[in-house]
Amino acid sequence: MPPSIPYIQDIRAELADVPPEQLSDETILTELVKAQTFLEPYKIDDEAFMRQCYVALATYYCYVAYTSLAERELGAVPATTETRLRELRRIAYMFVSQIAPIDEELRPNIPEPTEEEAGGSVCASALRESVLSDCDCG
């Protein structure tokens, strides 16, 4: 399927925080073609789902391209870059992993939450046989 303008608009909408002058339509098209080429062997009949896969993966690729350009041109990247990249990678992974094998680049590298991030202390638990199953309650 050749890339189309609606796909570019979808990706641009996902990256609304990225200034258009720092992410051209040509770059988006290049990254969209890359995503479509990667996913082509795994294409399924559900066109709406495939569109979501293409957009999710291309959005991740586009943000990587944008941050590389921003770093070269501005000497720094936005403060939220790491968080945004991780989130976009997670979204792409959720879609793509349903139809294609995933390589290490796309596999989310999300560390285990610390005790503070988890919102309290960590507690181990285990499932045991219920005493209610032996109850003659009837």
Kindly indicate the confidence band of residue 26, based on its pLDDT and cuts at 50, 70 and 90.
very high
Residue 48 sits at φ, ψ, to 5 deg, of -65, -40
Q: Above 60 in pLDDT, residue 95?
A: yes
- CA–CA separation, 74 vs 18, rounded Å? 14
Residue 53's Cβ-count burial label (10 Å; 0-12, 13-18, 19+) is buried
Q: Tens of pLDDT along 30-72? A: 999 999 999 999 999 999 999 999 999 999 999 999 998 888 8
- Residue that is written with structure tokens 């062997």 in the block: 41
Lowest mean pLDDT among 28-37, 88-97, 127-136: 127-136
Contact (Cβ atoms closer than 8 angstroms) between residue 1 and residue 55 = no
Q: Tens of pLDDT along 7-17? A: 999 999 999 98
- CA–CA separation, 99 vs 50, rounded Å? 9
Contact (Cβ atoms closer than 8 angstroms) between residue 29 and residue 49 = no
- Quick one: pLDDT at residue 69? 86
- CA–CA separation, 105 vs 97, rounded Å? 13
Q: Above 70 in pLDDT, residue 119?
A: no
Both tokens of 15, joined, read 């990256």
The mean pLDDT of the chain is: 79
